[in-house]
């Protein structure tokens, strides 16, 4: 049964019935025009102001020649203009492509080239990177800068953000449920990052699901969330910012993380929802005078990316007496938080990842694609509307990612009797460090380009500060070389060719690497050896 809608203009029908992330802001702005949506340290902007700016910026991009579903790359730090740029793309039916600001220039160049970005929006601090990469990227025709900038960059005229966002006429654009909302590049097991395409439907449903799960409310107890993790990651963007803006709360963007000023924000803003990495929580707990602060407004202390020792969880619970302490886990390919602990797990299952959220199925899959019973170990797989639409320009990766009708996480674990996920290992060869994914292969490629090395294996070693520490195990060409000296020069070499977070925290020089009969390096042996 389908209705006959032949008498209705498709745009009008789309406007009346669609599920789009741009409308999320429109609704909050109509309901709460004068409430503060975002406070970014420099400025506060109301919902009405943010919505108008986003709508005008999206219109400005279309006026500059951008076409439906084309990608708009941004090199923007956390600020209200990041949020307005994101929503401007959403409202205009363009694809938001926030670039990881920690990547070296050649990765940025590769992402802009691979995605085919037509426009780049940057803070003034990133103009030098644009000067460096744009000469080889003729398809980038529109360059927008949020502040002071030269008149042109690499031969292209520079538009000022505020000038692009000048026309207040409302946008009227078709946005389909499964149109791509954002493209986030994530390090893969291959050498180059992959573009993960995610739809309006996925992100909107995830925002509803997350709001439900972490207790954001609409119409009472408005949430206040300081966000210090970078908004170019799905964690901060999809798990924290959007659920808060969906429900009329306030996002505080204080800039970089510094524990004392973070706590000042929590206290002065009466923050309700906190999300930090484990090492940041350690820094918060170590801040002098913590117990003299009024932290009673906080209802939830979330940590992401890696478990924390039970002792630290107890310390957080003691420091924030009105709050639950929960781990949220997910990945760019399946909009976080895919699995989330419940308050009851704070004491009993704190080492777990928790169960799936209401809109996600979680199972354990064997190598043949069979679903395994509870208790058995295999690959963690997901189903549901949070799943990515697919990788950009990579059909083989898509086929592998969705094999057997489930999204393959690349993580290994089991489910207990209460369907709680216990993570044990990673199928894919990745290190998760300080909230970043590091591809082992990418680091190994750099290590192996150093002439004095014949073999290299990069693994993640559990680490209190980083979650996992990037650890390199290498074999020297010259057996007589001094290990300490070699490691030092190798580190310096890595610093030149890798982003800071990719540089190994530790380099071990061995006489040889453990291998399988077919010559494949046995990383699980290395992991076991260097753990602890």
Within 87-106, the residues that bind a second copy by CB under 8 A are 95
Interaction between residue 39 and a second copy (CB under 8 A) = no
Q: Which is nearer to a second copy, 209 or 440 (CB)?
A: 209
**Helix crossing, 278-285 with 259-269: angle to 10°?**
80
Least Å distance, CB 189 to a second copy, is 18
Least spacing, CB of residue 140 vs a second copy, in Å: 15
CA distance linking residue 15 with residue 455, whole number of Å: 58
**Pattern 7-26, binding to a second copy, x per CB under 8 A?**
xxx-xxx-xxxxx---xx-x
> Segment 123-152, which members bind a second copy (CB under 8 A)?
none
379 close to 411: Cβ distance less than 8 angstroms = yes
Q: Which of residues 159-218 bind a second copy (CB under 8 A)?
A: 172, 177-178, 180, 183, 195, 197, 201-202, 204-205, 208-209, 211-213, 215-218
391 binds a second copy (CB under 8 A): yes
Which is nearer to a second copy, 222 or 450 (by Cβ)? 222
Number of amino acids touching a second copy (CB under 8 A): 87
Q: Which parts of 480-499 interact with a second copy (CB under 8 A)?
A: none
Q: Both ends of the chain: CA-CA distance in Å?
A: 61
Q: At its nearest, how many Å lie between a second copy and the CB of residue 226? A: 22
What burial letters (b/e) apply to 407-420, b meaning 16+ CB within 10 Å? bbbbbbbbbeeeeb
Residues 312-351 that bind a second copy (CB under 8 A): 342-344
Decide: is 392 part of the binding site for a second copy (CB under 8 A).
yes
Residue number with CB closer to a second copy (290 or 419): 419
Per-residue b or e along 252-284, where b marks 16 or more CB atoms closer than 10 Å to that residue's CB:
bbbeebebeebbebbeebebbbbbbbbbbbbbb
Vertex 50 angle, CA 148 and 121, to 5°:
40
Closest approach of a second copy to the CB of residue 66, in Å: 12
Q: Which of residues 250-279 bind a second copy (CB under 8 A)?
A: none
- Contact stretch for a second copy (CB under 8 A) within 233-241, 401-409, 436-444, 461-469: 401-409
434 forms part of the interface with a second copy (CB under 8 A): no
Nearer to a second copy, 128 or 343 (CB): 343
Kindly state the smallest distance separating residue 350's Cβ from a second copy, in Å. Answer: 15
* DSSP state, residue 6: T
Nearest residue (CB) to a second copy, 226 versus 384: 384
Q: In terms of CB distance, is 2 or 479 closer to a second copy?
A: 2
C-alpha–C-alpha distance, residues 192 and 110, integer Å = 8
110 sits near a second copy (criterion: CB under 8 A):
no
Residues 60-89 that bind a second copy (CB under 8 A): 69-71
Torsion of CA 263, 266, 272, 277, to 10 degrees: -40
Single residue of 98, 230, 328, 385 touching a second copy by CB under 8 A: 385
Please state the closest distance from residue 77 (CB atom) to a second copy, in A: 24
In total, the chain counts a number of residues equal to 532
Q: Select the residue interacting with a second copy from 61, 143, 253, 360 (CB under 8 A).
A: 360
Quick one: residue 466, left, alpha or beta (phi over 0 = left, psi -120 to 50 = alpha)?
alpha
Q: Is 358 in the site for a second copy (CB under 8 A)?
A: yes
Tokens for 82, please give them.
């990041």
The residues that bridge with 160 in the sheet, in sequence order, are: 145
**Burial class (CB within 10 angstroms; exposed 0-12, middle 13-18, buried 19+) of 218:** middle
CA dist., res. 440 & res. 501, Å (int): 12
Provide, rounded to whole angstroms, the least separation between the CB of residue 466 and a second copy: 29
Cβ–Cβ under 8 Å, residues 363 and 406: yes
Stretch that binds a second copy, among 73-81, 99-107, 378-386, 422-430 (CB under 8 A): 378-386
Residues in contact with 488: Cβ distance below 8 Å, sequence separation at least 6, in sequence order: none
How many H-runs (helices) and E-runs (strands) does the chain carry?
18, 26
* Binding track, positions 280-319, relative to a second copy; x by CB under 8 A: ----------------------------------------
């Amino acid at each position: 049964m389908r209705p006959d809608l032949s008498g209705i203009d498709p745009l009008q029908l789309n406007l009346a019935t669609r599920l789009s992330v741009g409308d999320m802001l429109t609704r909050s702005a109509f309901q709460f025009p004068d409430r503060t949506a975002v406070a970014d340290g420099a400025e506060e902007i109301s919902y009405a102001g943010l919505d108008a700016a986003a709508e005008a910026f999206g219109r400005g991009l279309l006026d500059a020649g951008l076409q439906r579903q084309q990608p708009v790359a941004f090199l923007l730090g956390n600020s209200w203009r990041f949020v307005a740029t994101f929503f401007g793309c959403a409202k205009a039916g363009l694809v938001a492509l926030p670039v990881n600001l920690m990547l070296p220039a050649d990765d940025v160049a590769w992402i802009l080239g691979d995605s085919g970005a037509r426009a780049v929006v940057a803070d003034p601090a990133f103009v030098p990177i644009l000067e460096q990469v744009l000469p080889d990227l003729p398809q980038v025709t529109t360059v927008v800068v949020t502040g002071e900038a030269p008149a042109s960059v690499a031969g292209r005229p520079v538009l000022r953000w505020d000038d692009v966002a000048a026309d207040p006429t409302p946008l009227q654009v078709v946005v389909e449920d499964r149109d791509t909302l954002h493209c986030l590049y994530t390090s893969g097991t291959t050498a180059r990052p992959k573009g993960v395409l995610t739809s309006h439907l996925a992100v909107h449903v995830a925002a509803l699901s997350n709001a439900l799960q972490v207790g954001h409310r609409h119409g009472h107890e408005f949430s206040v969330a300081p966000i210090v993790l970078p908004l170019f990651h799905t964690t901060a963007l999809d798990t924290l910012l959007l659920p808060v803006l969906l429900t009329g709360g306030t996002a505080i963007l204080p800039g970089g993380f510094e524990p004392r000023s973070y706590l000042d924000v929590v206290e002065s803003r009466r923050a309700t929802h906190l999300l930090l990495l484990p090492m940041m929580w350690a820094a918060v707990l170590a801040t002098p005078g913590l117990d003299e602060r009024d932290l009673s407004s906080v209802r939830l202390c979330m940590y992401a990316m890696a478990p924390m020792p039970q002792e630290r969880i107890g310390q957080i619970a003691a420091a924030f007496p009105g709050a639950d302490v929960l781990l949220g886990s997910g990945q760019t390919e399946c909009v976080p938080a895919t699995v989330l602990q419940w308050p009851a797990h704070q004491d009993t299952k704190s080492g777990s990842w928790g169960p799936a959220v209401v809109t996600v199925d979680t199972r354990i899959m064997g190598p043949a694609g069979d679903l395994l019973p509870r208790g058995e170990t295999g690959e963690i797989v997901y189903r549901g509307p949070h799943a990515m639409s697919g990788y950009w320009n990579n059909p083989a990766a898509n086929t592998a990612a969705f094999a057997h009708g489930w999204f393959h996480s690349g993580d290994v674990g089991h489910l207990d009797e209460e369907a709680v996920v216990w993570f044990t290992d990673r199928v894919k060869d990745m290190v998760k460090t300080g909230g970043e994914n590091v591809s082992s292969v990418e680091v190994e490629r750099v290590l192996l380009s150093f002439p004095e090395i014949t073999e290299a294996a990069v693994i993640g070693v559990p680490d209190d500060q980083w979650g996992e520490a990037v650890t390199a195990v290498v074999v020297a060409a010259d057996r007589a070389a001094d290990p300490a000296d070699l490691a030092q020069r190798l580190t310096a070499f890595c610093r030149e060719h890798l982003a800071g977070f990719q540089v190994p925290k530790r380099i071990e020089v061995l006489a040889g690497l453990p291998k399988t009969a077919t010559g494949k390096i046995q990383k699980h042996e290395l992991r076991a050896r260097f753990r602890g």
